[in-house]
Structure 1
Amino acid sequence: MATKKKKIHYAWWLLVGLALMVGLAKGGIMTAGGLFLTPVTKDLGIGMGSLTLYFSISSIVTMIFLPIAGKIMAKYDIRFILVTAIILQAGSFAMFGLMNSVWGWYLFCIPMSIGSIFVTQIAGPVLINNWFKKHSGLAMGIMVASGGIFGAILQPMAGNLIASDGWRFTYIALGVLVMAIVIPVVLLTIRMSPQQKGLQPLGADEVKEDQTTAQPAAANGVSMAAAKKSSAFYALLMFFFFITAISSFGQHVAPFAMGLGYDVQFAGSAMGGWQVGVLIGALTFGVLSDKIGAKNTAIFAMLVGLIPIGILLTVPKNPFMFNLAIGIYGFIVASLGTLVPLLTSSLFGNKDYAQIYATAALGLAVAGIVALPGYGYVFQLTGSYTSVLYTIAVMLVINVLLVFMAFRGKKKLEQSGVWN
């Protein structure tokens, strides 16, 4: 038994696979999209608002497909789903490099969004929830931090490639690179549940002595039906909306920088700093949520978010301060990937976690519909992101209030007896 306990639990190998998949898909594709906006609009003569409309279409597709995605994950083999998803996501991203009209972005963002739902949104939280009964906050933090690690490498690389070889080559190169690495990683490491490997979830052995509590522990929480009737659910959904709208500014960092007179290489480096911030933030929030809880960590993250907004409103033309602000902004944006799933499990438990998370995640999709093109049109009309930054500051404050409302709603669920 002693030697068996010393073996590395397979949950950690699964986490390595997830980190590579999510890190490359986010850092190499999703957050890199903003670097292409200015070069594409200049080269093809497209307005910034018109091009960023493809983000809105992506969000509409996400909103429609999210409930279906949860059912697909429950029905089919997870490896088949994720391999198909990464081909849709990274393959469509590569296809942008062949387009000559804005309609190409409108068309290929549809399969890209469908693939992205599985690869970057649902699979990670669901698999971590299945495999980790202990250290789930740390695991979530590591997974999100991987996006920062790969982004810190790939964003500056993408900026330099756009400058030297053009945006078309860079789209194709990133898409092909991500597919070439992620497909074998998924096939080798990803499994839906510990039972498929003849194992218990990590940490389940610590409750093994009490056989009567071991089984119910996996199903503690609120049913989907009860959750949807609660104020906690709608506060969480609105938190999802605002944190996504706040995070969406990442796609506009490069146009913002270039609008201030910086070049595309500087924008790429700044986005690399953003990803370093994501890396540090994800690990910090993962550890903090295990120690002080998701509620206090979320409040802390939103208040810290006011710092970079203040810097970007006052001294954006100072290169050092600009990079510092973008790094801190990336730090708080890590809360989207880390805290959103942890807040869901903290508020509603594990009973219907996947359904509740997928439904509340509609707030993410709606925010994308509104915020991403909205920021683009503001810049197109005013030539500035100043009003956008003031709006983000307001949303950060609103999110603090929503966290308090959500946990007040949880108390009501517990008092009514539906949280068990």
Structure 2
Amino acid sequence: MINKSYKHWMIVFFMCCLAASSIGLCTNAIGVFYTLVAKSLKVLKGTFAMHATLSTLATALTLLKISKVIKKYSYKKVLLIGVILSSGATWLMSYSTSVYLFYILGILRGIGVGIYGMVPITVVITNWFDKKHGLATSLALSFSGLSGAIFSPLLSSWITCYGWQMTYRFMAICILVLVLPALIVPWNIDPRKEHLLPYGYQNRKETTKVQNNKIKLLTISFLCMCLFTLLHTSITGISQHLSGVAVSIHLSVTIGATFMSFTMIGNISTKLLIGFLSDLLSPIKAVIMMILTNCFSLGLLFLGVIHQEIMLLYIGSFMFGSIYSVGAVGIPMLTHYFFGNENYARTYSFIGFLTNVGSASSLTLIGYLYDFTQSYQMVFIIALCFHLINLILLVVICLRYNGVGDK
């Protein structure tokens, strides 16, 4: 069977579309609504942001079961259900006059995102790619950043011109349209069902022997990996509050949306970079480099807020996009690196759950932290502490890990 074909890269294109719709639009671009919708509903920003938290938690719970679901049922049908839930819930948000209705619709949208978001995307890429796994993963998930970079200012301008209600309807249409290529063109989640092998696959006896072993999850290394994931992804919510950061130092909402766009551009750049570095060096070294980059960005944001220096905030916002390179690309690659193909779906289902739990908790906590302190500086300090802890955890994982896929 063929292990290299145009179909492999067509699958990457489909995953790009799914990432742009599920992560880019439904997760990365929703921050532009926080300030204006909260004001319209006459609630605190943290109270409105709770709908995003509930959405992310619903995504997390969905991820625990989705790997089994996509093995049992046709993924095309599962994908259709997911996009209908996400697009439909977003459309109905335009008619919402109560924050509690936003909570319900946020949960429905979160379930939809879980059905065709991070775990299914990385499982498909892991099935289809043996070699160039890092490149394929980074290409696909970089489109979540590209989508966020394009739609954050676009949604912001639509809100200004047409109001947030109509903008939610436009957003719902975009969510659906982005998924259409993957729905229309025939393809299968397993390349062997199309008489193909994973890209660059070669039958290596030593690899087969390792991958056939079942990993024990309750190990120090796996628990450290879980804590690493939870702490890292709890920092990602800062990007959704960059619009609020701008407003807090008397800059316009439009400038705040530009900060978010710069973050999404950094998101794209660093996702592509981490995939290249992973294939060139190793996933561990690539992740460490991105964490250090993000630490530097937090320092710039901290100083930018103190001195109200817009250029520092622009540079810091761009570099802060590196947070997504680890959360979206680095963590799946580390999971694949340590646990192998055979155990990937099982291990990453739980790690993917924690990814969304971390993101969900940060969205609301950051909002409330600002509501009660009227400052984002404490948020940046806490994020730096989390990075320090994670670097220590990564060292522990590397020193103690002796399970399947140990390099």
The structure 1 residue matched to 2:52, chosen from 47, 55, 68, is 55
Q: What does 1:402-413 align with in structure 2 at a 5 Å threshold?
A: 402-411=393-402, 413=403
The structure 1 residue matched to 2:94, chosen from 85, 94, 97, is 97
In the alignment, which residue of structure 2 is the partner of 1:334? 325
The TM-score normalised by the length of structure 2 is 0.94
- Contact 1:27–1:155 under 8 Å retained in 2: no
Q: What does 1:202-281 align with in structure 2 at a 5 Å threshold?
A: 202-204=199-201, 207-208=202-203, 216=208, 220=211, 223-224=214-215, 226=216, 228-281=217-270
- Contact 2:233–2:327 under 8 Å retained in 1: yes
C-alpha displacement at 1:159, in angstroms? 1.3
- Write the distance in 2 (CA, Å) between the matches of 1:137 and 1:346: 10
- Contact 2:60–2:114 under 8 Å retained in 1: no
* Unaligned 5+ runs, structure 1: none
SS state of the match for residue 117, structure 2?
helix
Note the alpha carbon deviations across 1:260-304, whole angstroms, 9 max, x for none. 222222122221111110110010000101111111111111111
- Write the distance in 2 (CA, Å) between the matches of 1:189 and 1:380: 49
The structure 2 residue matched to 1:135, chosen from 132, 136, 147, is 132
In the alignment, which residue of structure 1 is the partner of 2:351? 360
- Contact 1:37–1:48 under 8 Å retained in 2: yes
- Write the distance in 2 (CA, Å) between the matches of 1:99 and 1:277: 33
What percent identity do the matched residue pairs reach?
Answer: 23
Deviates more, 1:231-240 or 1:25-34: 25-34
Deviates more, 1:61-70 or 1:162-171: 61-70
- Write the distance in 2 (CA, Å) between the matches of 1:172 and 1:282: 30
In the alignment, which residue of structure 1 is the partner of 2:289? 300
Distance 1:97 1:119, change over 3 A: same
- Write the distance in 2 (CA, Å) between the matches of 1:111 and 1:232: 34
In the alignment, which residue of structure 1 is the partner of 2:368? 377
Note the alpha carbon deviations across 1:201-257, whole angstroms, 9 max, x for none. 1101xx25x6x568x27x627524x1x121111111111101211112122111122
Aligned length, in residue pairs = 405
- Contact 1:254–1:267 under 8 Å retained in 2: yes
C-alpha displacement at 1:190, in angstroms? 4.4
Note the alpha carbon deviations across 1:37-59, whole angstroms, 9 max, x for none. 00111111111121112233224
Segments ≥4 residues shifted beyond 4 Å = none
- Write the distance in 2 (CA, Å) between the matches of 1:376 and 1:16: 35
Distance 1:315 1:63, change over 3 A: closer
Q: What does 1:108-127 align with in structure 2 at a 5 Å threshold?
A: 108-127=105-124
- Write the distance in 2 (CA, Å) between the matches of 1:120 and 1:250: 19
Amino acid in structure 2 at the alignment position of 1:279: I
- Contact 2:235–2:359 under 8 Å retained in 1: no
The structure 1 residue matched to 2:378, chosen from 360, 376, 387, is 387
- Write the distance in 2 (CA, Å) between the matches of 1:143 and 1:184: 14
In the alignment, which residue of structure 2 is the partner of 1:161? 158
Amino acid in structure 2 at the alignment position of 1:136: H
Amino acid in structure 1 at the alignment position of 2:65: I
The TM-score normalised by the length of structure 1 is 0.91
C-alpha displacement at 1:419, in angstroms? 6.6
In the alignment, which residue of structure 1 is the partner of 2:310? 319
C-alpha displacement at 1:12, in angstroms? 0.5
The structure 2 residue matched to 1:65, chosen from 62, 65, 86, is 62
Deviates more, 1:83-92 or 1:366-375: 366-375
- Contact 1:237–1:361 under 8 Å retained in 2: no
Deviates more, 1:188-197 or 1:29-38: 188-197
- Contact 2:19–2:144 under 8 Å retained in 1: yes
Amino acid in structure 2 at the alignment position of 1:395: F
C-alpha displacement at 1:128, in angstroms? 0.6
1:9 maps to 2:6: yes
SS state of the match for residue 361, structure 1?
helix
In the alignment, which residue of structure 2 is the partner of 1:179? 176
* Unaligned 5+ runs, structure 2: none
